[in-house]
Amino acid sequence: MALHIAIDNKAPVAKTVLMPGDPLRAKYIAEHYLEDVQMYSSIRNMYGFTGTYKGKLLSIQGSGMGMPSMGIYSWELFNDFDVDNVIRIGTAGSFHENIKIGDLVVGLAASTDSNYQHVFKVPGTYSPSCSYDILLKMQEAGNELGIDFTAGNIVSGDLFYELGDEWWRRWARLNVLAVEMETAALYMNAAYHRKNALAVLTITDHFVTGERASNEDRESGEDNMMKLALETAIKL
């Protein structure tokens, strides 16, 4: 079966990979933060890059939107390229008043309404969680950078445009912090392959207040997220 990540040249895929959903964000990170950058894959315009950050070899790989797409790309990284660590960097919508636009949320575990887990044939509902080792490194990096984050349960949804408002309130009542669309698939794939994964997310939408991030808020929050992820990655 043909892979969706296909090496276009001799550039390696590093043991630690940052995964934004948007392939153009992958390109931005590679061009603005890495040195000696090489593109290793451009199949379907889902870009992958490898370079160095402060002397550490790192890769940046786009995942696309939604659990099926994340499921494909993270599976291939773990299974076919023997990647050890994946840090997802993305955006999310907050369910809580005290988690505001521009804040960072780390997913300790990822609930989901998706049927993605059916492939693993577990006789119940499986709750995938992040890697404790990466979490410790991210806390250390956050302390050094002065960048705060809130850690807790998030939910990975299959739908972007949900109807009605009760759906998110039910998750919020169980202290789920925020919603996005990819992390549960990443955490399940990492667990299956005995690898490490963690998601750090910038809040760009707020379900309680109805706020949406301005361009300035988005840029500031995402810059902190990228710096935090990069500084965490070089500790692994």
- Rg (Cα) of the chain, in Å, rounded? 17
Q: Are strands 48-53 and 35-41 parallel, antiparallel or unpaired?
A: antiparallel
Residue pair 233/18 in contact (Cβ under 8 Å)? The answer is yes
Contacts for 182 with CB less than 8 Å, ≥ 6 apart: 21, 63, 65, 66, 67, 69, 70, 88, 90, 156, 199
Residue pair 80/197 in contact (Cβ under 8 Å)? The answer is no
DSSP 12: P
Answer yes or no: 205 catalytic.
Answer: yes
Options 22, 113, 158, 205, the catalytic residue: 205
Known catalytic residues are 205
